[in-house]
Structures are given as structure tokens and as C-alpha cells.
Structure 1
Amino acid sequence: MHSTNAPASRILVTGVGANPGFGLTRSLTRLGHTVIAADARPHAPGFLLPTVIPQVIPLAADPQYSDVLEKVCRDLAVDAVVAGIEHDLVPLVDMRPRLKATGVRVWLPDAESVHACIDKAAFHAVLTANGIPCPRTWLPEQIDEIPDGVELVVKPARGHGAQGVHFVNRREHARVLCELVPAALVQERLYGHEFTADCLVDRDGVASVILRRRDLVKAGLAAVSTTFDDPVVRDLVVRTLNAVRARGVCCVQGFVSDDGAVAITELNMRIAGGFPLTEAAGADLVGQMVNGLFGLPVDHGRLTYETGKVLTNYVETLAVGDAEAPQRNGHSRPVASPAVQVRPDARRNASPFLYGAETAAVGRVLRSGQYGHTDVTEEFEQRVARFLGVPDAVAVASGTAALHTALLAAGIGPGDEVIVPSLTFCATIQAILATGATPRFVDIDPATLCVTDTLIMDAVTDSTAAVVPVLFGGRAVDLSAVRDELQERGIAVVEDAAHAFGSRTPDGRRVGATGALTCFSFGPIKNLTCGQGGMVIPRSPQEADRVRRMRLLGVVQSQDERANTTTYRVDGFGLRYQLSGINAAIGLAQLDHFATTANERRRLWRAYRDALTGLDGITLVDVGEDATPHLCQVLVPDRDKVFAALRGQGIGVGVHYPPNHLQPAFATWHRGTLPATEQVGEQILSLPFHQHLTDNDIEHVVSVLAAALDASGGTS
């Protein structure tokens, strides 16, 4: 998939129930944009595409269309609107001043140009005036002027596609159909090779044209098409674009007869449904459209293409389930079957966010027949290492496996003591115990939920062999002031960075690139997901080698080496901790879009911060400006009552985490009170936080939280 220079944005696409809007939505999500999928039909197929935010809006002819669309743009912080269907063009042209006032971009020609393309009689008049060959055209009152023997097409003058199109051989039949077809038009039927030209016209009027022959057409859609080049056709298409003063993305249709004559039949001021062939042939149509949409230069060099590329298009089953009655009135949410969850919202505390390429990536691995540690796993390791700017990265099956193997690689074992905050997921403690070492619980700074260098050094004993700072919520933990002393005493620092992939330290280094032995989790709801997975960032090649041996049962040889020999050697302890190529493929697809992930998570966290400002009775846990946030948490009085009230209102709050030193399984290592941890443990509340959330969702969560605080007496 091609890249675009425009930043990842929130783009509303209309008409996602039709082929052009559906395809455009899919392509934009693959480029890393968040798409608000809009359609008048609650069962529009585009609503079922992964990651979209579905919105049911009125038909373009509805008087409420403009007001509803403007409200959607405001509520969902839309950056730009693209029409996927012709009928939306007229109101969008009229709305341009209103949309501009709200900071929403559109890229449309003027109203006269739109009218000339939507009204087929007006289009015929423009072509005729400019000497561009086109089918002869008659209005219903001109039927008597049609010569005998002309095969005819009766169609709506403002229709689109094959809807309402009828073929007849006699004037009398055309006359009857003109009574039945609303606002009918009669045209001469053309024969020959039908073509579509996918076009992008920049703001200076310079056009790129990609030609596709429609080899097999079913119900107005090209089932089979092939790219080709013909200078005569290209010239006529460009003349047509100039005649109507087209701008932005559009498509021109026409015929090449058996004797080589070319005629133009339509120009649509939106992307064509068959544009995936154009992109498969090498033209960056959607990427350059987005550049133009955001006022960036269109790179026409990226719009060249290969001829002879063939695309076969067929229907795709998106979902199967039982029918369900509408759950909510108005235009806020589409109807969906119970088998399909359209969009995770504030009812979910956390949810993975997929960009669309993950499915194909997994499919490629499945088709390869190699599902264990493969070259895909090693590519993922290399890509993560490059992303972090470190020499090496070792993939393992989970974040817990990363902690376990990292501690073992650092030499931690029975008789050793490991300093660790009690406020963490129990997996951290279980990984320490799995080495035979014992945890020494320490308190936290309640403002950050993280350990400090002072708290660490106060807990160090002669038995201390390692420190495991937990980068809670995504915040980096700075131990630089005591790192030299820890090193002199032979105490390893093993960072539990399960929450912190993508975060940076205050001096700008990425977490994982600070010199500490660092462990990441790529579980289902982490900042970057592999479905399940983890990564160890070693401090040395020797440490990397130890982790690699342990992750595959202590076997010395690599998989490739074992395939070429009759034996192998096991020289130490190991477990089946390797990362499957299936999971690595998901991680690679996620990594392609991680800049978007990081930016969106930061934006959502700031949206919560702004919405919570002025709400008495709560304290927002600050993750810092350099974090890629994993959680959004508040400290609230009477937490259990507030939690129950929010859950009762369908808000997916959670608690991260109950203190470990109070857990029965870890009671053996309980050493007195940890006052900050215990107070936080009674007050911590994790708000819904994932990339599917909208600003509306966040405002709703905060509103319900305010009411719950008021009811519990928690506000001052």
C-alpha cells in the first residue's frame, strides 16, 4: 500500500453502502486514517469494515442533511469529508463555508461543475459545446426527433450507475418509459469496449489519468477490468475534465468502438468503484487524493501505472448473524446483528485496534504452512529494533515470558531478592517467582503510580539482585541518578515496559533504548498488539543469545540449522516461549501504523484531561507528555460505589490493579504497609481507553462519572 505525506487524520466518507465509498473507506483505513463511515442505510456494508466509526445520516435530499452532517463533524472531530456518492456533492458544495468554519476540509469543484456532471442533459450540452464526442441525447419532449432504427437507452437524468437504466429499440417504448422513469433522459446506445478513467486533477488543473477497460460488467459494476493506455482516449478524457473544470478525484466513462471512435458518456465527481485496480497497477490514487484534500502538492509521478493489470471483482461476505430490531433512535448508530459488534465504544474498558492489513498478513503466514518461529518473526524483531534504535530485540510468546527470560538472562535465581512495586499486574510477580527469586515489594509515588529512585534505594538489601521498575500507564521511570550505584552493587535493572511501547524518556530516548534490560508486552490490548506476544531488549549479544536459547527449550541450533542436520543440542534450561509467525505478522502490520496509534492515544488522553478539568473530587493520574498512554486513570473517593454506578450505566471502567502484597498468593513476602499503594488501591479507577473511542464517548463517560461522584457524595 502506498504512503501519503498527509498526516493521519479523521476523514468522513459518505455513501459507504455503495461500492465507491466502501472501497475508499477500506483504502483510507489501510493508509492509517480513522474513517467515520456515513450512510443513510443502517445496514450499509461499510459499517462492518474493521476500525471504522459508523454514523447513520439522512439522505442528501433531506432538509436535515446539512445540520446532521455538521454536528457529526463537530462531535467526532472530523478533519475532512469526502463524498462517496454523487447525491452528496450538491449539499457538500453548499456547506463548504460552514465546514471550513469548523476546520473541516473538502476538495470539490464549483457548483456549476457539479451540476454539469450530475445532470446528464447538462453534461451532454457541455460536451457538445466543446466538440467532445458523446452519445446523442434527447429530452422526453424531443422523442419525435429521434431517427428511426436507433437503439436507445432511457435513464434518470440525475441517476447514477445502472439504477433505472432501460434499453429499448423503438421510440414508442422510450416514450412509455419516460412516463415511468423519474426525470428521464433518452440517449443513443453505444457499442464497443467500455472504459473508465480514474482521474486526479490538482488545484492547478493538471490531471493524471489511469485507463481501465471494463471487460465484464454486471449490474453496472466492472466484474473484470484491465488497465490499458491509448493516447486518443487519454486526450479526450483530459479535454472532458477541462470542459467541466473538474478538480480532485473523479472518474470518466466512455466507449471505444470497433472502428476506434471514442465517445464520452459520464463524468462522476467522486472515486470510481473499480479504483483498486488503479492502485494495484501502481498509481497512488487515494494517497495523492488525501494530499490534495489537505492542501499538499499532488505528486503526479506517483500516479503512473502499469498496463495489462487485471482485476476480478466479486461480492464479499462481511457478516452473518440473526436480525435484530433497532436499538437506538436517531442517526447516531447503525443497526447490527448480535453476531457483529460494529464499533467498541465506552462499554469496553479496552479493545484492540486493527488497521485492516492484519487479516491479509495472517493469511499469508497461514498459506505458507509455517506457523512457528519463522522469518516473519525475525523480521518483526529487526523492525522493532530499528524502531527503537537498538542493536537487537528478541521476540517471545508474551510479556510474562519476556520478564521471566530477561530475569533469568540477568542471572536472577533462587536466593535472590527482586525489588518490585506492589502496584502492577500479578504477572510481574509470577515471573519473579518463576526464577526462584523472591519479590521485595516497594511503595510508589501516588502522583505517577511508579517507583522512584529514593524508594528503590531505601529497599535495597545485601540480597538484592535486581530491580523491576514498572512503567505504569506508559510513563518512563527515570533511575539515572542511581543507575551507577546499582551497577556497582551488581543489581540489574529489568524494566517492565508492558504499558510503554512507544513512550520516551524526558531526554527524548525511546523506552527500550536507555541501556536497561527492557521487556515489552504485545498482548491483545497493548499499545501495539500481536494478538499475544512480547519482546526482550537485551543489553548485550550474550544476553540476547541466552534469551533466544531459553525461548526454545534450551536448544542451541536455530530452526534453519536444525532442518539441515540429523541432531541438535540442548545445553540448558528452556521453555516453549517462541513467538509464532502468525502473531509476528499482526505485529508487523501494526508497526506500519504505529505513528498513528501513538498520536491517537495521546489525543484521546488529552481529550479526557480536558473533559475532566473542573470536575471536583477526582485526581487524574498524569502519564507525562512523553508517554504513549496505555491507560487513563483517576483516583476517586468511595471508588467501589462509583465503579458500580458506572458499570450500571454501561461504562466499562476497570481497576488496574489490586495491590499484590495484599494477595493471598504473595502473603509470604508481605513486609509491613505500603501506604501510598494501599490508598491508591482503594481509589484507582481506569476509564475506558482505546482507539475506537470518539470525543462523544469521552464526554459521555465524564458526564456519567460526574453524576456518580455527585450521588456518592464524592464531589466537593
Structure 2
Amino acid sequence: MIPYGKHIIDDDDIAEVVKVLKSDWLTTGPAVTDFEKAVADYTGCGEAVAVSSGTAALHAAMYSLEIKPGDEVIVPPITFAASANCVVYMGATPVFADVEAETLLIDPAAVEQQITPATKAVVAVDYAGQTCDYDSLKNICKKNGIVLVGDCCHAIGAKDEHGRKAGAIADISVFSFHPVKHITTGEGGMVLTDNPELAQKARIFRNHGINLDASARSEKCTWVYDMQELGYNYRITDLQCALGISQLKKLDKFLQIRRDLATCYDRILAKFPEVTPLRSKEGIEHAYHLYAVRIPASRRKAVFEFMRGEKIGVNVHYIPVHYHPYYQEHFKTKKGLCPVAESAYEQLLTLPLHPAMDRKDVKFITDKLDEALKNC
């Protein structure tokens, strides 16, 4: 099976993890701080807080922003459920704003229509690996006194048209280091911001609401700590962060492979009249976490099954969040809420793309896709 996404672990990665296994710290130690600094330096962001998953990072961001019951947070429907779930964790209400038809990024015009006096934040998801229209979103947020959150879990290494790196554009942003992402820590995530106060809130939140973790207490030679808030155990281990530091050194190489494979897909699929790749915006540097295309909705299921039968791990990203039974039951969402996203969902198909592939794999995949479209 050629999976839609896949991690690459080499001997250097393994050696770095083994070093930690032989050290005095397995968790909450120096590798965590080193990984945070490395990611902050890479993105150009002032503060980075490592946590146990991308979902934990989203939850910590919502906590840092003091989102609470009665608040509303605007999110796109074409994303993984965690982008909206983090709002629900805080007792607040996610409000779905439709996406742009050609990119499936959140539509600033749709965002503006959804703002109410209860709106406290907007979550912009860098879907598939390209940055949202942050300038327009920032202007809307500033005008309305609300905060912009960047869900950059698809986009580490991406740049917008001004050369700003994903993770360093919004008021607070998050990354994921799940194995299908660009770099991995097994499971893991990161909160990024230039606001030291928000970063400190995230650090306390990841550690049960306690103001000093074990490493800090060791440095201060004290046993004293204060539980200031009700937090969670969202800590990440030094083992994971050692892997993350090693992986980060390879990120630019991984990105180049992804971009090369995407260019290969673009060239071949330009000859497929029934296949429409998503549009890449002018001037951006795409990170290509996903290579998503549109195919005729009436044949999507048959094509999906054919490709899986050929051991090609196509997928669909994503079922609109407002379709999920939980949201329909608890927030009364229903079909028709976001017509652009809903129409796109019926046609979406994700083709495999990851650094373990080469151009021969792309040729094999597109040949099989051509066969599926002709016969399904």
C-alpha cells in the first residue's frame, strides 16, 4: 500500500532518541526546551510551547485566550474535528464559516458575515499546506476586537506572499507532529506566539495548571509549586522532542521533495479533464501536507474503492465538521450551512504525497487514477 502520508525515520533520529534514553531526563527536561527554541527560531516566532499533540496545542491556545461559555469562535468546516473541538472543550460555541471554492481555505467574507458580539476568535486552518489570507483576516479581527488563531498543522515550512512563515503570522498558532505530518515526534504539538503572556498560560495549562515544572523546580532548588489553574497533563517527553529536533533538521529537504512531487502531479493531471487540483495562491510557498483534487462526485466512491483495491491509499480530507452527529445533536448544525464546503466535499479525493515517494510513484498513481476514471 502507498499510504497518503508517511513518516521517515533514519539512524540519526534513532541515535538522538537513544541519547535521551541514556540521560537523566526522559520528560520535562532540556530536550523539550531545545525543541521549543529550534521551532521558534525556524519560524521566527518569539515563543514556542511544546505539548503532547496538535489537539492539545489547540486546547492550550483556547485556554490562553480565555475562551469561555457564551463565547463564539469562528472555524472552517473543511478541517479535522479538533479545530472545532478545542472550542467546545472550553464550553464555547464553534460557528462555521464557509471556505473559498478554489483553495478550501476559510473565506474572509464568510467570516465577516458570522461575527456577532459574542465572537472572540477566528481559527484559520492552513488547509493542505498553504497559508490562509491572513492579511484580510487580521484586518477583520482588528476591526472587531477579536483574536486570530492559526491552525498551521498542515503547514510547517509554508510561507505567505510576504515571506512570513506559517506559525508566525496569527496572534497565536499551532503545529502538529503526528506521523503523517512533515516532521514527527510520534505524537506532539506546539503552540507559537509572540505574546509572552499567552505562552506562559499555555505552559501552565500543559502542566496541570502548575506554575513550575520539575525542571524549573530543580533549577531553583525548591520543592514548592502552586497549582494556579485547572490544567491538563499535556506534557511532551524529552524522547519525543529529541526526535523532533533531529527531524526539524531535515524539514527543508522533506518540503522540497513534497513540492517536487506536487509539481509532478500538476503536470500529469493537467491532461486529465475530470481532475481539478486545488489552486495554489500566487506568491506563496506551499508545504503540501496533502495533495487534494476534485473528481466527479458521482464516481468518487467507485474511484476511491478502485484505487484502494490497487493498494493506493487515497483518502478524503475532510468530512465537513458540521456533518458529524455530535455537532448536529449539540449545536443543531445541518447540511446547507456551508454550501461551498459541502459541494467540495462530495468531489474531494486526496492522493498520496510524502517524502518516501518518488516520481515513479506519482506516475503509477496517476496511471491508476486514469484507469479508474475511464472504467468506474
Deviation at 1:480, TM superposition (A): 1.4
The equivalent position to 1:427 in structure 2, one of 72, 76, 82, is: 82
Could you tell me which runs of 5 or more consecutive residues in structure 2 were left unpaired when the two chains were aligned.
none
Instruction: Count matched residues.
Output: 367
Aligned partner of 1:631 in structure 2 is: 290
2:23 matched to 1:362?
A: no
Indicate conservation of the 8 Å contact 1:353/1:690, yes or no.
no
> Residue 664 in 1 paired to residue 311 in 2?
no
Q: Decide which of 239, 247, 252 is 1:595's aligned counterpart.
A: 252
- Aligned match of 1:202: none
Separation of aligned partners in 1, 2:256 and 2:10: 14
Q: Which residue in 1 is equivalent to 2:7?
A: 352
Equivalent residues in 2 for 1:138-217, closer than 5 Å? none
Per the alignment, residue 374 of structure 1 pairs with 29
Could you give the per-residue CA deviations for residues 218-256 of structure 1, whole angstroms, max 9, x where no partner exists?
A: xxxxxxxxxxxxxxxxxxxxxxxxxxxxxxxxxxxxxxx
Cα distance in 2, alignment partners of residues 642 and 515 from structure 1? 38
Corresponding residue of 1:708? 372
Aligned to 1:517: 172
Question: Is this contact kept in 2: 1:418–1:439, CA < 8 A?
Answer: yes
Q: Give a deviation string over 1:555-575, Cα, whole Å, max 9, x none.
A: 111323433223321111210
C-alpha contact (below 8 Å) 1:473/1:623 kept by paired residues: no
> Is 1:437 the equivalent of 2:92?
yes
Q: Structure 2: how far apart are the matches of 1:476 and 1:453?
A: 13
Match of 1:406 in 2: 61
Cα distance change of structure 1 residues 515 and 482 upon mapping to structure 2, 3 Å threshold: closer
Deviations 1:643-699 (A, max 9, x none): 011111111101111111111011133164311111111111000111111211110
Q: 1:400 to 1:623 in 2, by over 3 A?
A: farther
- Letter matched to residue 293 of structure 2: V
Query: Rg bigger for which structure?
Result: 1
- Corresponding residue number in structure 2 for 1:621: 278
Give the C-alpha shift of residue 490 in structure 1: 2.5
SS of equivalent residue, structure 2 residue 208:
coil
Q: How far off is 1:496 after superposition? A: 0.7
- Shift, 1:539, TM fit: 3.4
1-structure distance, mates of 2:146, 2:125: 16
Give 1:488 shift. Answer: 4.0
Give the 3-state SS of the residue equivalent to 1:393 in structure 2: strand
What RMSD, in angstroms, separates the aligned Cα atoms of the two structures?
1.4
Structure 1: segments with no counterpart, 5+ residues:
1-345
Q: Does structure 1 conserve the Cα–Cα contact (< 8 Å) formed by 2:108 and 2:137? A: yes
Partners of 2:156 and 2:10 in 1: how far apart?
A: 18
Find out whether 1:687 has 2:344 as its counterpart.
no
**Counterpart in the other structure of 1:500:** 155
Residues 1:623 and 1:578: Cα distance change in structure 2 (over 3 Å): farther
Residue 243 of structure 1 is matched in structure 2 by: none
Superposition deviation, residue 400 in structure 1: 0.4
Q: CA deviation at 1:515?
A: 4.3
Q: Comparing 528-537 with 480-489, which one deviates more in the overlay? A: 480-489
More helix per residue: 1 or 2? 2
Amino acid at match of 1:444: V
Q: Would you say the 8 A contact 1:623–1:629 is kept in 2?
A: no
Picking from 305, 314, 317, the partner of 1:644 is 305
Q: Secondary structure at the match of 1:608?
A: helix
TM-score, normalization: structure 2? 0.94
In structure 1, give the amino acid aligned to 2:365: V
Quote the Cα distance in structure 1 between the aligned partners of 2:117 and 2:300. Answer: 39
1:604 to 257, 261, 265: 261
User: Relative contact order (C-alpha < 8 Å, sep 6+): which is higher?
Assistant: 2
- Inter-CA distance 373–566: structure 2 relative to 1 (3 Å threshold): closer
Q: Structure 2 CA distance, aligned partners of 1:622 and 1:608? A: 13
In 2, the alpha carbon distance for the partners of 1:616 and 1:481 equals: 33
| Letter of the 1:632 counterpart | Y
Alignment of 1:240-251 (within 5 A): none
Amino acid in structure 2 at the alignment position of 1:542: E
TM-aligned CA distance change 1:503 to 1:372, over 3 Å: same
Which residue identity lines up with residue 589 of structure 1 in the other structure? S
Q: Secondary structure at the match of 1:469?
A: strand
SS at match of 2:286: coil
- Partner of 1:677 in structure 2? 341
> Following the alignment from structure 1 to structure 2, what is the Cα–Cα distance between the partners of residues 708 and 423?
26
Q: Which amino acid aligns with 1:627?
A: H
User: In the alignment, is the contact (CA less than 8 A) between 2:177 and 2:183 conserved in 1?
Assistant: yes
Distance 2:291 2:138 in 1: 29
1:481 Cα deviation from its structure 2 partner: 2.8
Partner SS for 2:125: coil
Structure 2 counterparts to residues 541-552 of structure 1, below 5 A: 541-552=196-207
8 Å CA contact 1:474–1:623 kept in 2: the answer is no
Report which of the two has the higher share of strand. 1
Task: Report percent identity of matched pairs.
Answer: 34
Are 2:50 and 1:395 aligned?
yes
2 CA distance for matches of 1:442 and 1:640?
Answer: 27
Q: Which amino acid aligns with 1:573?
A: L
Q: Deviations over 1:488-529 (max 9, x none)?
A: 422111111100000001111111222421111111111121
Alignment match, 1:565: 222
Structure 1 ranges of 4+ moved more than 6 A: none
CA distance in 2, matches of 1:645, 1:515: 41
1:533 and 1:613 map into 2 onto residues whose CA distance is 37
User: What corresponds to 2:239 in structure 1?
Assistant: 582
